[in-house]
Amino acid sequence: MTANISRSSGFLLQRVSAPAVRRWNINARSSIAQSLKRNISTESSSGNATITVLGKEYPTDDFTNLPNSIANLTSRKLHLQPSHPIGILRSLIESRLKDLGFTSYNDFKPVVSTYENFDALGFPEDHPGRSKTDTYYINEKTLLRTHTSAHESECFQTCETPGYLISADVYRRDTIDRTHYPAFHQMEGARVWSRTEHGDNLAKVIQEDLESIPDSGIIVSDPDPPFHEGNPRQPTMSELETELIGKHLKKTIELLMGHVFHQAREAAIKAGSTDPDLFSPIKARWIEAYFPWTSPSWEIEIWWKGEWLEMCGCGVVKHEVLSGAGVGDKIGWAFGIGLERTAMILFGVPDIRLFWSEDERFLSQFKPNTVSTFKPYSKYPGTFRDVAFWCDMAKEVHINDLMEVVRSIGGDLVENVSLIDEFVHPKTKQKSQCYRINYQSMDRSLTNAEINDLQDAVVSSLSTQFPIKIRD
């Protein structure tokens, strides 16, 4: 149930001779600006306007904010490419759980209804995830899914095995940096048992299933009790059922972590790493957590190259979730994992943009079902530009809207956007904000003129789309 889990996931140009920092005049224009602005997210109220996603046309309305650059990503399907790090990781997890009663769903289309993405999952009307600043809307009733949980009700109802795995590309408007991208991949899994089917033997059946899970081969620390007041069991489940389901969940996740990290360790050693931790048993620890739709809940952390890394959130599924999905007679567990963040750790990929690269120097490094360490093929230092503006305190620019303008123009040539200065004028009460945009290609050197054109287009678009005044 990755809707409950944070989007776990996410560094390299010859510096140009022009000054590294420029503040741009509102009158700045360039030949590139008008052509690039066609790709910027727009909101259409025309009843005749349409937008095309994966070959299908949809009517647009006042909710429409999906730019062509994002719509074009929906056909990439990185998780289904057998020689891509995302696809390799997805395949490793699916293959490990296949014989333990799991069905894999990995080809759901990314266009879903607002009902499937939010209403069916109990998102309140005022939830921030529903906002146009967070979500890519095709129209008021249709959007690009923001989590794989948009398909969980269907899987709970139709899956013929006790467990399921969903892997998919998901989309969110977000910040721009080395670990965030507007399109990314999630995997969620769930395992349930039926009271109707097993009756009084339910606890015995769960115990037998627990004993059938192979050993993970890793050292695990789990000092907390199976549940307590701060991480409570649900009243619809007995203490024994809660304890057994928790154990089954943890042993399954430990099996997955052991499977992928043993491969990652072998790849790191083969690549020449002498990190002493790589020659010791892999260590994991369980941390209590909170997620809205599971209780009790946990996160697992793996000790990797000198630090504890949060890898996966999970928990015992709340009764109201299962009941809402039409399977209220069942009890079970669920987990969610961000594939990009995990793949960056396993393959040593330093920048999330590389996953979307079509450069053969990146793609040719990986083979199906094999974890290998990424070898950088070039380093192009980045260069940055600043844009500063005044805005009314009552009409502030939402950071995700600003990021979307920059992303729609600069695309993957933008490595990072950060707020570096902010203050309020004591007399006018206007707020000044200054954002720093770092331009950096993963594949080639950018010219000074090229970066200047991009920045001119960014400043022009910001000044026309938002009620701001560019500072000289």
Query: Residue 231 to residues 97, 312, 380, 398: CA-CA distances in angstroms?
Result: 27, 17, 48, 35
Ranges of each domain in the chain: 68-364, 380-470
For the chain, helix (H) and strand (E) counts, in that order, are 13, 17
**Stated pTM of the model:** 0.85
- CATH number given to 380-470: 3.30.70.380
* DSSP result, 107-131: ---SEEEHHHHTGGGT--TT-GGGS
447 SS3 class:
coil
Model confidence pLDDT, tens digit, residues 33-75? 343 443 443 444 344 599 999 999 999 999 999 999 999 999 9
Residue tagged 């620890």 (tokens): 285
Q: What is the pLDDT of residue 319?
A: 95
Model confidence pLDDT, tens digit, residues 75-117? 999 999 999 999 999 999 999 999 999 999 999 999 999 999 9
- CATH number given to 68-364: 3.30.930.10
What is d(CA 196, CA 207) in angstroms, rounded to the nearest whole number? 17
What is d(CA 97, CA 234) in angstroms, rounded to the nearest whole number? 27
222 pLDDT more than 80: yes
Return the percentage of the chain with pLDDT > 90, whole number: 80
Residue tagged 């994002």 (tokens): 70
Pairing mode, strands 50-53 and 102-105:
unpaired
21 pLDDT more than 80: no
Those residues whose C-beta lies under 8 Å from the C-beta of residue 189, and which sit 6 or more positions away, are 97, 102, 163, 164, 165, 166, 334, 335
* DSSP result, 331-382: EEEEEEEEHHHHHHHHHT---GGGGG---HHHHTT--TT-------------
Those residues whose C-beta lies under 8 Å from the C-beta of residue 218, and which sit 6 or more positions away, are 254, 257, 258, 261, 281, 282, 283, 284
- Select from 165, 183, 196, 451 the least CA-distant residue to 335: 165
Q: What is the pLDDT of residue 275?
A: 87
Residue tagged 């892999």 (tokens): 282
- Mean pLDDT over the full length of the chain: 88
Q: What is the pLDDT of residue 57?
A: 96
Q: What is the pLDDT of residue 48?
A: 53
Model confidence pLDDT, tens digit, residues 108-130? 999 999 999 999 888 889 999 99
Q: What is the pLDDT of residue 273?
A: 87
Model confidence pLDDT, tens digit, residues 276-328? 888 999 999 999 999 989 999 999 999 998 999 999 999 999 999 999 999 99
What is d(CA 185, CA 85) in angstroms, rounded to the nearest whole number? 11
Residue 195, class by beta-carbon neighbours within 10 Å (0-12 exposed, 13-18 middle, 19+ buried)? middle
Average pLDDT for residues 423-447, to the nearest whole number?
91
Model confidence pLDDT, tens digit, residues 183-213? 999 999 999 999 999 999 999 999 999 999 9
Length of the chain equals 472
What is d(CA 285, CA 283) in angstroms, rounded to the nearest whole number? 7
Instruction: Write the Ramachandran bin of 54: left for phi over 0, alpha for psi from -120 to 50, otherwise beta.
Output: left
